[in-house]
Amino acid sequence: MHYNQKSILPYNAQDFFQVVYEVENYHKFLPWCSNSIIHKRKGFQYFEAELFVNFKVYQDSYISKVSSEVTKDNYQIISLSNNISAFKHLQSTWNIKPLTEKQCQIDYDIQFEFKNILYQTVAQMFLDNVIKKINQSFEERAYYLTKQNYFQLNKLQVFIDLNKKQEGQNQMNGQAVSQQFDQSQQQSVQQQDVIDSIPINKNNTNVYEQLNKAQSKQEKQQLKTTQINNQNIILEHDMIQQIEQHIKLMVLKNIAKEDEASMFIKIFLKSPEQQELITNAYKFFIINKGLINMNEDQANWKFLSVLRSSTLYK
C-alpha cells in the first residue's frame, strides 16, 4: 500500500525537520504511540529507534532504521522496517523544503505491506484518516514547540553548522556583488567621461541621437513597470478583501472564534511578511484545496492552522 501527501506549512523547515527527527519524543504527541526509544545512534545521519504501538486491540513494537540527509535546499528523513511482526515492510519518507524563513513544503510518503491479508484489507478502510491524524499531530507539535521557543534553545548542531556555512557564503556573495557594482560604476564614469569629451558638431550628432533613443527606451520601460506594479496592487487589494471576508465567514461557521478572527485580521493587515504568508496559504488551501486533495472542511482547518501560527510572530 502507498500513500503520499504534499502540503505547505507555516513553519521554519529546520524546525519541522527537528520535530520529525526527534523520534524519542513521538510518544509525547503521536496517537497510538505509547513509547519511543533510541537504541543505536551513529552520528547525526543514522540511528535505530523502537516504537510501541497501542491501537485498540492491536499492541506491538517494532524497530526502524532511520537515516537522514540535510542539504541547503532539502531535509530528508527515511525510516525503514523489514520483516517485523505485523508488516513485511514499512517505509516512510519525509522531504522538507524551505520556502521562506517561516514557511516550508512537506512531501510525506509511506509504503507498507501487512503480512496478514485481513489487516491489509482493514487498513485500506482507515488509512486516509489515520495518516491525516498523524500528520496533524506533527503540525500541532511544531506549533506547540514554536510557541515555547523550543527550537531557539535546542537547535540541532547540524543546522547550527549549516547556518554558519550559509552566512559565510552570503558574506562572500555580498562582497562579490559589491565588487561588481563598483566595477560597473567605474565603467559608467569612464563612459560618461568619453561622452563629455566629444565636441558638439554636425559630425557627432548621431552619438547624441543614440543617447536620446536609449533614454527614451528606458523611460518607456519604467512606465511599463509602474503600470504592472499598479495592476498587482489592485489584484492584491482584492485578495486582501477576499481573505478578510473568508476569516469572518469562518467565525459564522464556528470554525474560528470571534476574538481569534480579530487578531488574525489585525496581524494580516499590519505585517507585510505575514500578509504574504497568509495570502499564499489562502491561495493554496482555500482556492486550490491543497492542489485538489482536500474537502472544504480540511482546507479550512489547514488555513486556520496557518492563521493561528501567525500569532506566534505578532
Distance CA 52, CA 86 (A): 13
Q: Which amino acid is at 299?
A: A
Return the pLDDT at 211.
Answer: 56
Q: What angle do CA 153, 164, 166 make, to 5 degrees?
A: 125
pLDDT band at residue 233 using 50, 70 and 90 as cut-offs: very low
What mean pLDDT comes out for the span 9-25? Answer: 95
- pTM of this prediction exceeds 0.95: no
Give the single-character DSSP code of 287: I
Q: Are residues 225 and 144 in the same domain?
A: no
pLDDT, one tens digit per residue, over 43-74 is 889 999 999 988 777 788 889 999 999 998 99
Same-domain check for residues 66 and 145: yes
Mean pLDDT value of segment 10-16: 94
Q: Note the pLDDT tens digit of each residue in 257-292.
A: 888 788 888 777 777 777 778 888 888 888 877 777
User: Please, how many CA atoms are within 13 Å of residue 169, restricted to the half-sphere of its CB?
Assistant: 7
List the single range of 13-27, 68-82, 114-128 with lowest mean pLDDT. Answer: 114-128
Query: Which of 140, 155, 170 is the last residue before a domain boundary?
Result: 155
Domain assignment present for residue 194? The answer is no
- Grid coordinates representing 287? 482556492
Q: Is 246 exposed, middle or buried (0-12, 13-18, 19+ CB in 10 A)?
A: middle
Whether residues 149 and 235 share a domain: the answer is no
- 31-40, 48-57, 228-237: range with lowest mean pLDDT: 228-237
Q: Could you tell me if 231 and 136 lie in one domain?
A: no
Residue 225 pLDDT level (bands cut at 50, 70, 90): low
Using the 3D structure, point to which of 106, 124, 155 is the last residue of a domain: 155
Q: Which comes out higher in pLDDT, residue 217 or 1?
A: 1
pLDDT band at 151 (very low <50, low <70, confident <90, very high): very high
Count the alpha carbons within 13 Å of 16 in the hemisphere toward its beta carbon: 31
Which are the contacts of 102, defined by CB distance < 8 A and separation ≥ 6? 10, 11, 12, 273, 277, 313
Q: Which residue has the higher pLDDT, 59 or 97?
A: 97
pLDDT of residue 234: 42
My answer on whether 234 and 112 are in the same domain is no
Residue 167 domain flag: no
Identify which has the larger pLDDT, 222 or 306: 306
The neighbour count for residue 305, using CB atoms within 10 Å, is 20
The pLDDT value recorded for residue 264 is 80
Between residues 126 and 9, the one the model is more confident about: 9
CA gap 54, 56 in Å, rounded: 6
Is residue 189, in this structure, part of any structural domain at all? no
pLDDT at 207: 54
Domain assignment of residue 267, yes or no: yes
- The mean-pLDDT minimum among 113-127, 166-180, 245-259 falls in 166-180
Residue 162 is assigned to a structural domain of this protein: no
In a domain, 105, yes or no: yes
Residues 19 and 119 in one domain: yes
160 belongs to a structural domain: no
Residue 230's pLDDT is what?
45
143 and 258 share a domain? no
d(CA 94, CA 106): 7
CATH number of the domain at 102, please.
3.30.530.20
Helix (H) or strand (E) holding 111: strand 103-114
- Whether 107 and 225 share a structural domain: no
Phi, psi (degrees; rounded to nearest 5) at 44 = -80, -30
Domain boundary among 101, 134, 155: 155
DSSP string, 272-306: HHHHHHHHHHIIIIIISHHHHT--HHHHHHHHHHH
Cα 278 from chain centroid (whole Å): 12
* 32 and 109 within one domain: yes
The pLDDT assigned to 252 comes to: 84
Distances from the Cα of 65 to the Cαs of 23, 38, 71, 135, 260, in angstroms? 11, 10, 20, 20, 42
- Does one domain contain both 228 and 309? yes
pLDDT of amino acid 297: 84
Q: What is the CA radius of gyration of the chain?
A: 27
Contact in structure between 53 and 59 (CB atoms under 8 Å): yes
Indicate the pLDDT class of residue 241, thresholds 50, 70 and 90: confident
For residue range 171-207, what is the model confidence (pLDDT) as tens digits? Answer: 666 566 556 656 656 665 565 665 556 555 545 556 5
Number of domains in the chain: 2
**Domain of 279, in residue numbers:** 217-313
85 and 9 fall within a common domain: yes
Is 8 among the domain residues?
yes
Q: Are residues 47 and 140 in the same domain?
A: yes
- Which pLDDT value is given to residue 93? 97
